[in-house]
Amino acid sequence: MQSLSLPCPDDWHLHLRDEGLLATTVPASAKVFGRAVIMPNLVPPVTTVAQAMDYRARILKQVPAGSEFRPLMALYLTQSTTVAMVKDAAEQSEVIGFKLYPSGATTNSDAGVTDIEALDTVFAAMAEYQVPLLVHGEVTHAEIDIFDREKVFIDTKLRPLLARHPKLKLVLEHITTADAVDFVVSQGENVAATITPQHLLMNRNDMLVGGIRPHNYCLPILKRREHQQALQQAAISGNPKFFLGTDSAPHAQDKKEAACGCAGCYSAPAALELYAHFFEQMGALDKLADFASHFGADFYGFARAEDTLTLVRESWTVPATVDTSVGPMVPYWAGETLAWKIQD
């Protein structure tokens, strides 16, 4: 096969950051994806519809001419989120839902949720209005091993939450474990999950063996190979509960290569090509269109894309760095060769 055409894909989990970085991050995703769910963990966080619309306007200013890229805004769930705020979100077509960050779980999550159970009236409203809840699924208790935090969160927080609110529309973001795969499969059609390229292509050996590789460090952290294999099988299974979400997260090189390096993989410069690389490895290129273009749109209730995008078999090397307003960034898979490239 020398070329592969598929409907314009969507990225259902994307970090663009703000201000000067938008000039780099927005075009990188807009040239590939038709729609993207924009994460709200700015400083300060995006907690209201008004703030989200202001942020969206800043994003749209950086969309290249001719692109129809549609940013769909997530609001940051806090202990101060109200039922009225849920109703406001339900009435705004460009707001896709609320993002639940357990406080301290990842970058800019200090304002996140500290008591899930105390927000039950908010979750009830989200279920009533069918406003999706997008979940970073990890506990943050110091005594819980970092490699177990996703499983513990599922068992102690998500299962009880969905038992109390069985109609809640929920996406477990960037899943990393076989436990998460099993959980999502066991739930109704209102529960789905996104999977990143790094969690499909790597396991914790790729971050730790032969020296620490900070540009492969992300949260939730890479897990054992057996968990990677479970994610791989979920992605190629044809199960509509699993779909593309890059979690592309830009950080300056000096922030990653530091004594306390930050978490996140900036995959946007090669996102779709990375997924194509994985699906070809698995002998499942015929499953890429559903995973990248169909299942996420179906879950969120959007029309499937009619425009197409073509990948051609052409060897190219992911750049070692990308110049940005905050200095050089090292993209995920930097310096490595990919066999598929988006046709201009």
pLDDT 10s digits, 202-239: 999 999 999 999 999 999 999 999 999 999 999 999 99
Domain of residue 164 covers 9-305
Q: Is 251 annotated as a binding residue?
A: yes
Domain membership flag for residue 22: yes
For residue 207, being part of any structural domain is answered with: yes
Assigned domain for 338 exists: no
Separation CA 10–CA 112 (nearest Å): 26
Residue 106 is predicted with a pLDDT of 78
Q: Is 342 inside a domain boundary?
A: no
Q: Which of 182, 247, 323, 344 is catalytic?
A: 247
Residue 206 falls in the annotated catalytic set = no
Asked if residue 132 belongs to a domain, the reply is yes
Query: Looking at the 3D structure of the chain, how many domains does it have?
Result: 1
Which amino acid, residue 342? I
In a domain? residue 35: yes
Distance from chain centroid for Cα 76 = 14
Alpha helices in 110-247 (DSSP H): 120-129, 149-153, 159-164, 178-186, 197-201, 205-208, 225-235
Q: Reply yes or no on whether the pLDDT at 158 is more than 90.
A: yes
Per-residue model confidence as pLDDT tens digits over 128-147: 999 999 999 999 999 999 99
**Residue 263 annotated as part of some ligand binding site:** yes
pLDDT attached to residue 110: 79
Contact 138, 219 (CB under 8 A): yes
In a domain, 272, yes or no: yes
* Residue 113 β-bridge partners: 102
Mean pLDDT value across residues 299-319: 97
Q: Identify whether 310 is part of a domain.
A: no
247 known ligand binder: yes
CB 63 within 8 A of CB 305: no
Span 41-53, average pLDDT = 97
Is the pTM value of this prediction over 0.95? Answer: yes
**φ/ψ of residue 296, rounded to 5:** -65, -45
Tell whether residue 215 is among the known ligand binding residues: no
Q: What CATH number is attached to the domain comprising 43?
A: 3.20.20.140
